[in-house]
Structure 1
Amino acid sequence: MTKQWQPLTDYQWAAISPFFNLQRKRQHDLRQILDVILWLLRTGCQWRNLPQEWPNWQAVYYYFEQWSHNGTFERINLALNQLDRKRVDKEAFPSVLCIDSQSIKLNPMIGEHRGTDANKRVNGRKRQLVVDTQGRLWVVAVHPANQADGPAAVSLISNLLWRAGERLEKVYGDQSYNGVFAKALADWSIDFEKASRPESAQGFIPVAKRWVVERSIAWTNYFRRIAKDYEYTLLSSVSWLYLANIQLMLQRSQPN
């Protein structure tokens, strides 16, 4: 993980440029637009406070909205995950995934899709993150924090099947998913295994399968834009999370 924002290298841009229509004549360079978006992700700057030497914030926001709605960020994320798995001699699609949630505070000025997680005492939203055994983000959803983990995660199953393919055999999660979510997975012949510390254990006990997704959640702290939820729409919140994983995968893929 680099400590500061850096513009895309030629190698990194070559890896993701096929996902953009570069044949059209445009007023703005798409590579620069994406650089600005990733800068926003790292620094947490407001749209309207973009430095003047960069394109107008409305132009950058236009492309961010377009790529969010047409699934460009999701497709890039999926492709980079597959490339990174192949880089370490793994199959392109995972057979095991891990799921966990993170309750995050929401900007006080935003009232949409807000709720209170009574257990964690967080007034805001909840993120459902599904990662593979090395922490790559495959599926993510955002919803009000007062919704229970298991029932809210059921809506992710179709995305899991689409992104992980036929190789998916098992999903690890904590007790909160060992209900309707586990039953819904069973309908697709996917096993659910509860990953939690032994009931007799006292104090902090790291659990291997949960530690992976907890580490992925911790990685979000490197990106100020997602350290707290500042988005009016859930789609924007999801897009920033995919972008964070995209940034991580691009850094890994960069040759030494």
Structure 2
Amino acid sequence: MCAKNTDTANIETKGYCHYKCTNGIKRHLLVDVLGNPYFVKCTAANISDDDGMLEIIRANKEYFLDLPEGHIITILLDNGYHKEFLENEIEKIEKRLRDKIKIEISAKITPEQKATSKQENPAKQGFVVIFKRWIVERTNAWINQCRVLWKNCEGLLVTSETKIRICAIRLILRRIT
């Protein structure tokens, strides 16, 4: 997820994402099945999705290694990631991580599925739900409800990460009440 920089953002936080044509930062999130952010990492927008994922895994390596024996975390990614590259890089970080992390790429929607969806509901246009991918999209939508996260005006990427965590805490507390 990209966020544009304002003029008050620091030079270290600036980067250009060619995919989304955005000058700013990227927010990399690992969420649980309920959509609650588990791990957050902010990078300059010119950092690839693969590299952002690897930074999250490097920063939280001990968490994954401390999982009980036989417990495997499945990370479901969209088609912007490269499964083989990530699996090789995770193995370079720590050989034991290969047994703890399973990477899956979500299926791309086929033209037939999109046509079937439009036949079922002709008024529906555009977005088609992809299995389990909507969990992350919903989390991104929730985070965008926090006004302080609409744009990046922070000097440090850590500050942006903290604001995402505060927003996530607010969302979890709202669900409890």
What is the TM-score normalised by the length of structure 2?
A: 0.76
Runs of 4+ in 1 over 4 A off after TM superposition: 199-203
Q: Which has the higher contact order (CA 8 A, sep 6+)?
A: 2
RMSD over aligned CA atoms reads 2.2
For residues 165 and 226 of structure 1, do their structure 2 counterparts lie closer, same or farther at Cα, with a shift above 3 Å needed? Answer: farther
Give 1:210's match in structure 2, choosing from 133, 146, 161.
Answer: 133
Q: Distance in 1 between matches of 2:56 and 2:36?
A: 16
Match of 1:138 in 2: 38
What is the TM-score normalised by the length of structure 1?
A: 0.54
Q: CA deviation at 1:217?
A: 0.4
Match of 2:87 in 1: 182
Taking only the aligned residue pairs, the percentage that are identical comes to 27
Q: CA deviation at 1:176?
A: 2.5
Match of 1:191 in 2: 102
Match of 2:122 in 1: none
Match of 2:173 in 1: 250
Match of 1:106 in 2: 5
**1:149 lines up with 2:49 in the alignment:** yes
Q: Distance in 1 between matches of 2:81 and 2:22?
A: 20
Higher-Rg structure is 1
Q: Distance in 2 between matches of 1:165 and 1:142?
A: 25
Give 1:239's match in structure 2, choosing from 146, 150, 162.
Answer: 162
For residues 239 and 168 of structure 1, do their structure 2 counterparts lie closer, same or farther at Cα, with a shift above 3 Å needed? Answer: farther
Contact 1:197/1:206 (<8 A) preserved: no
Contact 2:8/2:155 (<8 A) preserved: no
Q: How many residues are matched?
A: 153
Aligned partner letter, 2:40: V
Q: Distance in 2 between matches of 1:249 and 1:165?
A: 24
